[in-house]
Amino acid sequence: MQALITLAAFVFTLGLLVSFHEFGHFFAARCCGVRVLRFAVGFGKPLFTYHTKNKTEWVVASIPLGGYVKLLDGRDRNQVISESEKSESFDQKPLWQRSLIVAAGPFANFFLAVILFALIYISGAPQLPAVVQSPPESSQAANLGIVEGDKVIGWQKLGSEDGSLHHSGEFEPVVSWNALRWLLMDALTARDGFALEVETSTGGRQIKIFKEGDLPSLTPERDPITALGIRPMLTPMAEWQELKLGPFQAVSFATERVWLISKVSARLMAGIFTGESSVKQLGGPLSIADMAGKSVQVGWQPFLAFLALMSISIGLLNLAPFPMLDGGQLLYDAWELVAGKRISLSTQEYLQKVGFLLLISLSLLALFNDLQRYFSP
């Protein structure tokens, strides 16, 4: 039964996130007057087809792992486009519209993440308080006098010039350990100093300043937050606080959260190529399926949070400047903007092959990591 739940959650996750991504392309294309020939959910043999008045074929296919959008495009040698249809062809549109259509897919994923997080905040979500364990003796947190039971209630980024507190003295409220964790990761990946407002077990308040030069460096071998010395204390559920917001406040808070997570995730992805992050962090289909199955069994809120995080990951991955991805096409568009001419089709086809080999290699590496996690002793 658990295997069926995991499989169903995995299929639903990929189907929803990829279809929403493709709907972003579809919506932008229709807004720009480009004809969409096909919107397919899944791959393989069509199980259901429907033709609309605007000549779009909607397809539900037999393999529900993703989907795609096919546009009217004069670059496709298999398409015969008449003179009357050229105004609806993707390749005939101005550069800004073509770039908008390409970028709309990833940004649809970010938009979906905002909606999913907002739904959680509107319904009310229990939050683990940002109460810390006793830090290791040699850690920066211990050196600053943080002790077990201290509760982080405020956050402030230090001034970039001299590493001092802002003159306003205002701290951003820290509503939970999860919020603090992402703020810490943002500071550590950006190498920015920060200050914490701490409430002690006796009710007093202290300011702890973590300067840029004292922050632990990012390495593949250790967790940077643990190296900093700040770890959560597992408090009873009765002490957790519910975060419940109104619709507009929830959307605003969710937007800030998606932006923060996106920044951190992008730096960690880039760190794989700079050596600051380990390639072992790459997860493949087995990891995704496992996390989908576990989160859906915990409850609908953890599953929505998982979907939001996955949606952000898909958006960022597609913005990577690799051929075969949306980011690769945006790189072509940037070249056209600077050089004043498009990259030739032959060059694009060659780069597509290179990009395909690169993506296959990364996919195999992610699958290898999955197999190591599940079969290593």
Any idea which residues carry the catalytic annotation?
22
Q: Which two tokens stand for residue 15?
A: 């189907």
Return the exposure string of 142-176: e unless at least 16 CB atoms fall within 10 Å of the residue's CB, then b.
Answer: eebebeeebbbbbbbbbeeeebebeeeeebeebeb
Strands 241-243 and 172-173, bridge-based pairing: unpaired
Q: Which two tokens stand for residue 360?
A: 């296959």
Is-contact 184 154, C-beta < 8 A? no
Quickly list H helices, the chain: 2-31, 95-123, 140-143, 177-190, 224-228, 247-274, 285-298, 300-319, 326-339, 345-375
Q: Which residues partner with 122 through β-bridges?
A: none
Of 343, 366, 342, which is closest to residue 288 (Cα–Cα)? 366
Q: Which two tokens stand for residue 7?
A: 């499989």
Strand arrangement of the beta sheet that strand 194-199 belongs to: 172-173, 151-157, 194-199, 205-210
What lies within 8 Å, CB to CB, of 19 at 6+ separation is: 41, 66, 67
Of 333, 319, 359, which is closest to residue 104 (Cα–Cα)? 319
Q: State the SS3 of 235-297.
A: CCHHHCEEECCCHHHHHHHHHHHHHHHHHHHHHHHHHHHHCCCCHHHCCCHHHHHHHHHHHHH
CA dihedral 324, 328, 330, 336 (to 10 degrees): -110
Query: How many other β-carbons are positioned within 10 Å of the β-carbon of residue 1?
Result: 5
DSSP annotation of 204: -
